[in-house]
Chain A
Amino acid sequence: MKKILANSYIGFLLLLLYAPIFIIIIFSFTEAKVLGNWSGFSLKLYASLFHGGIHHSLASALWNTLIIGLIAAFVSMLLGTVAAIGIYNLKPRTRNVVQLVNNIPILNPDIITAISLFLLFVSLGISQGYTTVILAHISFCTPYVVLSVYPRLRRMNENLYEAALDLGATPFYALRKVLLPELKPGMISGFILAFTLSIDDFVVTLFTIGNEGLETLSTYIYADARKGGLTPELRPLSAIIFITVLVLLLVINQRAAKKRL
């Protein structure tokens, strides 16, 4: 009895969380312009998403989101990994200070990060666009990479790297053959995290993107919503993104479970 109650509570919360998503998916199969109107089953939105009928600006917004996300995640991964190795080898007092500053972008509300970066760029007279968005994204993504790489360094056997050097490996060789394989899982999860944060970001992007007409998916949707409607093609697009992520996570989970057995 208790168990049934508990399970139905979880079920109820999940229903609440998923209701809006189901609405998007269901209404991606109809042509109606306004979300919530049903004008009969149709795959037209999916077709127009794939056959160039797609709003030109939506396509470029999607493209910008992916490019910015990939560049920001890649640079953050490199910068964050090198930083984590460096921070790990700092004296405790300096290390604490750097880690504290590293936590600032994570704990700061995004609107504060956004406004502070906006003020930085306008004070320096840098015109805002692609570069500023990418720099801004790197600045709030890298701390997460540091946090995901750092625990792996702590868990690693200190002597392995020294042993490699003693056996005649150059520092670079030891880095490539000893350090990197140990850090790889942390780097990968850092990259994925950074990419996710970047493509999901709205506030920081809005403040650093300038007004030259550059759009990412988030700013596009925001502008769209302010105009009073959502481009209908966003429904099938969201449905596809959702299903892809769902399948990916299930596969990863399944494989992780198998590995443990």
Chain B
Amino acid sequence: MTAPGAAWVAQGGPVIPNFGEGSDCVTENRFFCPDWVRDNWSGVLQPALVEHVELTLIAVAFGFVLSLAAALLTHRYRPLERPFGAFAAVVYTIPSLALFQLLVPLTGLTVTTVEVALVGYTLIILYRNILEGLRSASPEVLEAARGMGLTRGQTLWRIELPLAIPATMAGLRIAVVSTIALATVAALVIPKGLGYPIFLALREAFNTEILAAGVLAILLALVADALLVLAERALTPWSRSRRVA
């Protein structure tokens, strides 16, 4: 069994404290040094941010596709709810550090390891929300659809899927925000994402870098959430406020 620390040690190699260079602020390791952020934006922070976005997008995209497929199957074959739900719940309970360690022997210190874990954590929320959304069409609506001669497929495509959007988007928001937070832990396995500068800085207790990368992760989560809210509004014009003329 590899010790949890081995991954980043193996990847990162020996770390040399770097507050020797740069401004007084940096040398004295004050709380926050804007000049360090300026100097290291394009070399450290920006690439880490881009990698972080990539890690998150891939994880949520795969998680979404898997959850949608599972939810559609469950919607059609109800008995699948227990096994699917239980699987997603069990995966969710595995601590991320342990999950990485379980996966490293199989998939190595690779992006795959990270993504498998991140995807795993999105399943429970996405699966449950999409399923709840698919079930949100009221009995009257379904009866009207049937009575007017919509086939099962037409009912799914024209009625149930659109009505599942609000619950699905709520699930996506939680999944995206929690994946952005969780993806910082990916630095245990690979030198990518906003977690990597945080890890390096933690070992030197370098305040500015920790703070800058941490704040970037938070801002990223807020921006992503806001974008999803806008997307939801665009996709669900019917749920906007009740305008009565």
Q: Do A and B come from one complex?
A: no
B residues near A (Cβ < 8 Å) are none
